[in-house]
């Protein structure tokens, strides 16, 4: 058993973990391990938005961003997912990951100009980027053999980690939690620059990408996920999408991962922007939907152990004010962080 916090990021604590030193979780879980030389990671969401079904303009935008990803200094890994939002718009989001800020910086300015600059393209477009220091984020995987998201960049998966399977485990896995409560500071505000709207959020804004992969499940496990778990997950995701603001969730997207041709994979993820880590914790431990699937998953993972074929993972970041970038063009006013300001 090892700590989720890698040894090079362990420090003298002023704040304590939720569990005693001899705590033993009821089932195994794993975290992504970067080489110590990695100081920051970059998570960049490029969205395209259109009313109703996707159009040729959407296809053109997707081809454009894929070509940019393939260019010099492009990301080490990216994937794509889509969903229909509360206003009935189709949003296709390509998420790209770097672990070298200099490469990202060399790549980003012309990509930004191409995506949200110029005269606009007749479809909504947005860019949402976090570039956290490694002290400010954590990952968790129920199986160590298939990395997703930012973990694809990692050097390896850890062995079994101690800090999980209890409320507060997420916080305890974030290295900065050893010394900092990560409380939010300030309110988001909008800055208009021609046709673009930039949102300047606030210190300790929080992002979660929480993924589900049922592609390897068979028979009873598949039925259990699709018939019992997924509808409850969807209800929780709909709540955050429609009523999240009151509980500190600026925006929530329940995304279906698609392949290069746009065909849906048997993978999904919930992605949401939060006022604070504390607000995300409160939702996870108190909303009846998540409490129910948390309990069901704990029981199921404890029984099946490593032979479970349903894979769950997440990545959670608490970003400093200077580690964020949000920009929207021709998007409806409830898109992403636009929902957090009055326009
Ligand atoms: C099928 C879908 C899901 C299942 C079965 C599930 C189940 C679980 C389980 C078992 C844990 C504990 C993990 C551990 O520490 O070992 C957990 C943690 C958590 N989940 Fe989910 N979850 C799902 C989806 C989501 C989604 C979509 C979100 C939010 C967008 C979310 C938010 C959280 C948070 C914030 C925690 C950490 C709680 C803490 O450590 O204090 N979950 N979930």
* Helix (H/G/I), strand (E/B), else coil: 184: coil
pLDDT number for residue 88:
94
Buried b (16+ CB within 10 A) or exposed e, 221-236: bbebbeeebeebbeeb
Domains of the chain are 7-38+136-186+202-320 (3.30.70.100)
Give me the sheet containing 249-258, strands edge to edge.
Answer: 137-141, 311-319, 205-213, 264-274, 249-258, 77-84, 89-98, 42-51, 124-130, 324-329, 196-200, 189-193
Interval between CA 234 and ligand 1 midpoint (Å): 13
Ligand 1, atom 31: nearest CA belongs to which residue?
210
| Residue whose entry in the numeric block shows the structure tokens 């080489």 | 35
Ligand 1 center to 324 CA (angstroms): 24
Give the integer Cα–Cα distance in Å for 144 and 242: 34
Q: Which residues line ligand 1 (CB under 6 A)?
A: 29, 140, 164-165, 167-170, 208, 210, 212, 229, 233, 270, 272, 280-281, 284, 290, 293-294, 297-298, 312
Look at residue 297 in the predicted model and tell me its pLDDT: 81
Ligand 1: residue whose CA is nearest its atom 17:
294
Q: Which SS3 state, helix, strand or coil, does residue 57 take?
A: helix
Strand partners, 51: 89
- Angstrom distance (rounded) from CA 163 to CA 47: 33
Residue identifier of the C-alpha nearest atom 8 of ligand 1: 294
For atom 34 of ligand 1, the residue with the nearest CA is: 284
Whole-angstrom distance, CA of residue 253 vs CA of residue 259: 18
pLDDT value of position 63: 95
Ligand 1: atom nearest CA of 316 is 35
What SS3 class is residue 191? strand
pLDDT tens track, the chain, 343 positions? 999 999 999 999 999 999 999 999 999 999 999 999 999 999 999 999 999 887 888 999 999 999 999 999 999 999 999 999 999 999 999 999 999 999 999 999 999 999 999 877 789 999 999 999 999 999 999 999 999 999 999 999 999 999 999 999 999 999 999 999 999 999 999 999 989 999 999 999 999 999 999 999 998 889 988 988 899 999 999 999 999 999 999 999 999 999 988 999 999 999 999 999 999 999 999 999 989 888 888 887 787 777 889 999 999 999 999 999 999 999 999 999 999 998 7
* Nearest residue (CA) to ligand 1, atom 27: 270
Taking the centre of ligand 1 as the mean of its atom positions, its distance from the CA of residue 15, in whole angstroms, is 23
Given 164, 202, 290, 314, the catalytic residue: 314
- Give the pLDDT score at 301: 79
Q: 294 alpha carbon to ligand 1 midpoint, in Å?
A: 6
**Of 314, 316, 317, 318, which is best to mutate to test ligand 1, by the most ligand atoms within 8 angstroms of its C-beta?**
314
Atom of ligand 1 nearest to the CA of 173: 40
30, 231, 288, 294: which to mutate for ligand 1, most atoms within 8 A of CB?
294
pLDDT of residue 260: 84
* pLDDT, position 261: 87
**Site to substitute for ligand 1 among 276, 297, 309, 313, most atoms within 8 A of C-beta:** 297
Instruction: Tell me what pLDDT residue 307 has.
Output: 80
Q: Verify whether residue 314 is a known catalytic residue.
A: yes
């Amino acid at each position: 058993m090892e700590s989720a916090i890698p040894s090079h990021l362990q420090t003298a604590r002023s704040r304590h973990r939720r569990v005693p030193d001899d705590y033993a979780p009821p089932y195994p879980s794993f975290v992504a391990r970067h080489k110590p030389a990695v100081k920051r990671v970059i998570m960049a969401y490029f969205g395209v938005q259109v009313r109703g079904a996707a159009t040729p303009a959407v296809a053109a935008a997707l081809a454009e961003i894929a070509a940019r990803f393939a260019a010099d200094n492009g990301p080490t890994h990216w994937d794509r997912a889509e969903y229909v939002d509360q206003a009935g718009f189709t949003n296709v989001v390509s998420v790209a990951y770097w672990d070298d800020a200099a490469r990202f910086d060399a790549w980003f300015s012309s990509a930004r100009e191409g995506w949200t600059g110029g005269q606009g393209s007749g479809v909504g477009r947005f860019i949402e980027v976090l570039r956290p220091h490694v002290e400010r984020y954590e990952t968790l995987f129920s199986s160590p053999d298939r990395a997703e998201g930012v973990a694809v960049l990692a050097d390896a998966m850890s062995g079994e980690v101690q800090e999980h399977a209890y409320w507060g485990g997420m916080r305890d896995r974030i290295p900065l939690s050893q010394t900092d409560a990560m409380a939010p500071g300030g309110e988001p505000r909008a800055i208009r620059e021609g046709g673009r709207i930039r949102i300047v959020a606030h210190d300790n804004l929080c992002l979660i990408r929480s993924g589900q992969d049922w592609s390897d499940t068979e028979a009873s496990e598949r039925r259990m996920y699709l018939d019992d778990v997924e509808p409850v997950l969807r209800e929780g995701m709909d709540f955050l999408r429609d009523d999240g603001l009151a509980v500190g969730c600026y925006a929530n997207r329940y995304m279906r991962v698609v392949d290069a041709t746009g065909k849906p994979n048997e993978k999904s993820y919930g992605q949401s922007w939060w006022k604070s880590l504390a607000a995300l914790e409160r939702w996870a431990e108190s909303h009846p939907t998540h409490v129910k699937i948390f309990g069901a998953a704990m029981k199921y993972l404890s029984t099946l152990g490593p032979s479970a074929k349903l894979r769950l993972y997440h990545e959670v970041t608490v970003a400093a004010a200077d580690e964020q970038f949000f920009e929207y063009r021709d998007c409806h006013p409830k898109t992403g962080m636009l929902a957090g300001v009055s326009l």
